[in-house]
Amino acid sequence: MPFTPDDPDGPWGITLEKALRSHANPGWQRWFCAEDEASGAIIGHVDLNHDGLRAGSHRCELGIGVEEAYRSKGIGRRLMNTAIAYAQDKDFLDWIDLRVFGNNERAYSLYRQLGFVEVGVLRDRFRIGGVSIDDVLMVLDVSS
């Protein structure tokens, strides 16, 4: 995420109200979580978000996160497959959009393997800890 751990602005936008919102209403969200069987802790999530514009109701944006200790175990791939299957099952959705840090080779590779295609790059989109990071936009056609 484009935030330093101590950033007071941190992540925002996830609300229970949006998660319960009907797909017919702009601004809906859906979340899917991975749980540690032993502790019951949430160790990863994927979310699909509508941007709030009716004209964009055929698209959603995907966000994903897996706790560092659980990475490289296939959890991210399973979460992604769950979200993709969900979107494919919705007649009104044609596209999933996502953004990935340009230096996140592992995530970029996974997304390509799942069929996402790069459509653009915002150079120097973020500066975190003095490091410039590109923001890569990728899309997946889920209409067929």
Give the distance from CA 123 to its chain's centroid.
Answer: 20
Instruction: Quote the domain boundaries for residue 43.
Output: 16-141
pTM of the predicted structure, to 2 decimals: 0.85
Over residues 57-99, the pLDDT tens digits come to: 999 999 999 999 999 999 999 999 999 999 999 999 999 999 9
**Which letter does DSSP use for residue 54 in this model?**
G
Say which CATH number the domain at 38 has.
Answer: 3.40.630.30
Say if 125 falls within a structural domain: yes
Residues 3 and 13 sit within 8 Å (Cβ to Cβ): no
Say if 11 falls within a structural domain: no
